[in-house]
Amino acid sequence: MLNIERALKQDRLLRALTGLNHKAFESLLKSFNQIYEQALHSKPRQRSVGGGRKARLRTTQDKLFYILFYFKCYPTFDVASILFDIDIGLIVYNLY
């Protein structure tokens, strides 16, 4: 699995994998957090909070990294599923 924490700590790796430096990533993360939380609470839930399968991309930071990585590198679904240890069926779900 790809070590997201390592990539976020090294500016060169972050730039190579997402196209953004650390400062730009953190700035985008603030906006992403707000929009993600609004979207999460705007529709009715089928299960209560904490129910269901535990996500591989647990934090919004990980989710944003995945989205930026995908659009920068365009890996096939098979490659992305190996790198992020996510089932192929969930790759598209996590992206959109």
Q: pLDDT tens-digit profile of 34-63?
A: 999 998 888 787 877 777 778 788 899 999
pLDDT value for 34? 96
Q: Is pLDDT at 80 greater than 90 in this prediction?
A: no
Please provide the DSSP assignment of 27-53 as one string. HHHHHHHHHHHHHHHHS--SS-TT-SS
Residue the block writes with tokens 């209560």? 48
Residue the block writes with tokens 């959109």? 96
Lowest mean per-residue pLDDT among 8-12, 22-26, 58-62, 84-88: 84-88
Is residue 87 within 8 Å of residue 33, measured between CB atoms? no
Phi and psi at 48, nearest 5°, equal -70, 165
At 7, the pLDDT band (50, 70, 90 cuts) reads very high
Q: Enter the pTM of the model.
A: 0.83
Kindly state the helix (H) or strand (E) to which residue 4 belongs, with its residue range: helix 4-9
Kindly state the helix (H) or strand (E) to which residue 18 belongs, with its residue range: helix 11-18
> Position 44: which residue type?
P
Q: Is pLDDT at 92 greater than 80 in this prediction?
A: no
Give the start-to-end residue ranges of the domains of the chain. Answer: 4-44+54-95
pLDDT value for 15? 96
